[in-house]
Amino acid sequence: MTNQEIQSIKQRFGIIGNAPALNYAIQVAAQVAPTDMTVLITGESGSGKESFSKIIHALSPRKHGQFIAINCGAIPEGTIDSELFGHEKGAFTGANEARKGYFEVTDGGTIFLDEIAEMPLGTQARLLRVLENGEFIRVGSSKVQKTDVRVVAATNVNLLDRVQAGKFREDLYYRLNTVPIMVPPLRERGDDIYLLFRKFTADFSEKHRVKPISLTPDAVRLLNRFRFPGNIRQLKNLAEQISVLEIDREVDATRLATYLPATQTSQLPALLPGHGAGGAGGDFGSYSERDILYRLLFDMRRDMTDLKKVVLELASGTGPRPATDAQELLRQNSHLFTNLGESSPYPGPEGPAEAGGYLLPPASGPLRVDVATPASYSDEDEDAHTEDISHETEEETLSLDAIEKEMILKALRKHHNKRKYAAQDLGISERTLYRKLKQYDLESA
């Protein structure tokens, strides 16, 4: 499609702007219009999705048929089936007469279903049958009726996320998404923001016979930097508000800033939902809370092992060792006490210091670590039993995967291999548990 044809469509439907993403969306709409394919329009609220549905209808062979736009989020769940497919007399309380639904009324035309993600699951099943076979049944009837309707749907949310959450049918999603059209948000359209502002102020001045508003260059730059979460709808409200309230018809950046919400002017990167404080590139960005706890526990255990190594080195001496040597050794490993929430027991060479409320003895000879056990403790041989801790100084080989695998096995044994209850006990979904079983080759467990 040539640029001239795209400009012709813009003039016909009152679309302002020259952003490449906008031009591409118009081109796709014009190309798919002559067919009967289902179209899914995605874009933020207020970005102009309904205009694209009108383009598709007006450029299609159904242009002489009826066009109806329906907001699925505005119809109560209890009445949406009746609104879309009709009902018979006496089908429910208040149904005093039979009524045709939108799919029956628009036979041969186009129906635009806005906010399709808000449609109830039961209605989604009925819609899928219409899309597949062109058949529907009125509420309270058993007679199958035929209809020839083209469906154009729109949504401002990610339908795949709704599918994964179990709130939207996967088969309906793929049936609707035959040809996707992405309408760009206003903040990604660059200079189109000022063009639209001029259009709205000119329309207002013509309607109310007042001088149009103009912006200084610094005000134009401020306007283009604003993110406009409400998109075109918000920009139009802003233009009309300024046109009404401003006595001086030339507005500078300082004056314009008073109309812009301060919390929405920043374009700094924001933390997205579901991301940790470390970000995608941080230390904990790719871990869940459970993984972070595991990691902290492993770090503490490694510090304890290092501390035991230090004590073992002191305890394994064969002759007297000056106190300064022990102090120097502990000072070199003072970070171990810091990690454990204690201060170093030897902050300096001034002699013995307190650690955790206990006075460290002077190093008059080799140190010995005596640990009394309940089974062997007695007043006579309290010094006879010592615990050998050398085996605990070996390098730890535990990993997150090993701990996770062990927890899964324990949960399965606890619930007699009933995966549903094991997943609940672990705090994960059954799908995640199945994936973990396959990952660790535990499917036969």
pLDDT at 415: 85
Q: How far apart are CA 188 and CA 224, in angstroms?
A: 10
Query: What predicted TM-score, i.e. pTM, was given to this entire model?
Result: 0.58
Complete DSSP assignment for 184-222: PPGGGSTTHHHHHHHHHHHHHHHHHT-PPPEE-HHHHHH
> What architecture does CATH give domain 187-264?
Orthogonal Bundle (1.10)
In the predicted model, what is the mean pLDDT of the chain? 79
Helix, strand or coil, per DSSP, at residue 155: strand
pLDDT at 413: 87
pLDDT at 264: 53
Quickly state the pLDDT bin for 331 (edges 50, 70, 90).
Answer: low
Quickly state the pLDDT bin for 351 (edges 50, 70, 90).
Answer: very low
β-bridge mates for residue 180, sequence order: 40
Quickly state the pLDDT bin for 411 (edges 50, 70, 90).
Answer: confident
Q: Span 373-402, mean pLDDT? A: 49
Could you report the per-residue pLDDT of 275-313, keeping only the tens digit for each? 444 444 444 444 456 667 767 777 787 778 777 777 777
pLDDT at 425: 83
Residue with tokens 């013509």: 206
pLDDT at 353 over 70: no
pLDDT at 341 over 70: no
Q: Is the dihedral of CA 400, 410, 288, 435 positive or negative?
A: positive
| Domain coordinates in residue numbering, the chain | 3-184, 187-264, 289-393, 400-439
pLDDT at 399: 61
Question: In this structure, what token pair is assigned to residue 50?
Answer: 């309904």
Query: Fold identical between 3-184 and 187-264?
Result: no
**137 burial class (0-12, 13-18, 19+ CB within 10 angstroms)?**
middle
Residue 150 φ then ψ, to 5°: -95, 135
Q: What is the residue type of 72?
A: C
pLDDT at 376: 45
User: Is-contact 181 26, C-beta < 8 A?
Assistant: no
Q: How far apart are CA 244 and CA 3, in angstroms?
A: 36
103-107, 260-264, 325-329: least confidently modelled range? 325-329
pLDDT at 72: 92
CATH class of 400-439: mainly alpha
Cα Rg of the chain (Å, integer): 36
Q: Span 104-133, mean pLDDT? A: 93
pLDDT at 289: 62
Q: Which of 107-121, 288-302, 317-331 ranks highest by mean pLDDT?
A: 107-121
CATH topology of domain 3-184: Rossmann fold (3.40.50)
Residue 306 φ then ψ, to 5°: -65, -40
Q: How far apart are CA 98 and CA 90, in angstroms?
A: 8
